[in-house]
Amino acid sequence: MSTLATMPKHGNEVSTKRNTSSLPSFSSWVDNLIEGGMGTGFLSNFNTGMTLPAVNIKENADEFFLEIAVPGMKKSDFNIDVDNKVLSISSETREEQEHKEENYTRREFGYSSFKRTFTLPDTIESDKISAQYKEGILTVHLPKKEEAKDKPAKRITIS
């Protein structure tokens, strides 16, 4: 016999149970799977196709840059739109393969998509936004308006 330690969902108490059988019943296995968080996380991500890609946002005096990690894609896979100060970056890809031989046919297909949206500040020149895709990183360049750029310090003379 073995002793199992179980943690409740909120992690405050530890209890021990004696395992009296060598294999758990199917229903207890499913209950443990769902109660342990695996069930809800697994089911919520089951048909999403792709998780949201990681994004870095960089800023300097003249511009912002968004760097989005999306390896294995092509430039043509992306849609980038600006509408009412909202920048939307999305992708949808589908792939089908079919392999036929004398006794069987194997057909595989895949689908993935994502959409990220960003509310742009008033300081962005939306007409000058540009993007580049290189080595799995989509970089979106967001230039600032001239009046929003940091100006060097200026000495004021007293008259």
The answer on 13 and 69 residing in a single domain is no
Q: Is residue 153 part of a domain?
A: no
Same domain (yes/no): 78, 139: yes
| 96 pLDDT more than 90 | no
Residue 128 lies in a domain: yes
Whether pTM > 0.75 for this model: the answer is no
- Clarify whether residues 14 and 40 are in a common domain: yes
Structural contact between residues 144 and 125, judged by C-beta atoms closer than 8 angstroms: yes
Please indicate, yes or no, if residue 134 is contained in any of the structural domains: yes
User: Do the domain assignments include residue 80?
Assistant: yes
Q: Whole-angstrom Cα distance, residue 68 to residue 138?
A: 5
For 18, 38, 41, the CA distances from 34, given in Å and listed in that order, are 21, 6, 9
Q: Does residue 158 lie in a domain region?
A: no
Establish if 159 belongs to a structural domain: no
Q: Give backbone dihedrals phi and psi of 3, rounded to 5 degrees, phi first.
A: -105, 130
Average pLDDT over residues 86-108: 82
Task: Please check whether residue 138 is in contact with residue 89, taking contact to mean a CB–CB distance below 8 angstroms.
Answer: yes
What percentage of the chain reaches a pLDDT higher than 90? 32
Task: Check pLDDT > 80 for residue 84.
Answer: yes
In this structure, the strands spanning 130-134 and 137-143 are antiparallel
Do residue 30 and residue 101 come from a single domain? no
49 assigned to some structural domain: no
Angle at 12 between CA 6 and CA 17, to 5 degrees: 25
User: Quick one: 35 and 8 in the same domain?
Assistant: yes
Q: Are residues 69 and 29 in the same domain?
A: no
**How many domains does the chain fold into?**
2
Q: Are 106 and 70 in a shared domain?
A: yes
Residues 37 and 61 in one domain: no
- The residue range of the domain holding 121 is 55-146
115-138: per-residue pLDDT in tens?
999 999 899 999 999 999 999 999
| Alpha helices (H) in 92-139, listed in sequence order | none
Q: Is residue 156 part of a domain?
A: no
Residue keyed to tokens 């769902």: 34
pLDDT of amino acid 150: 76
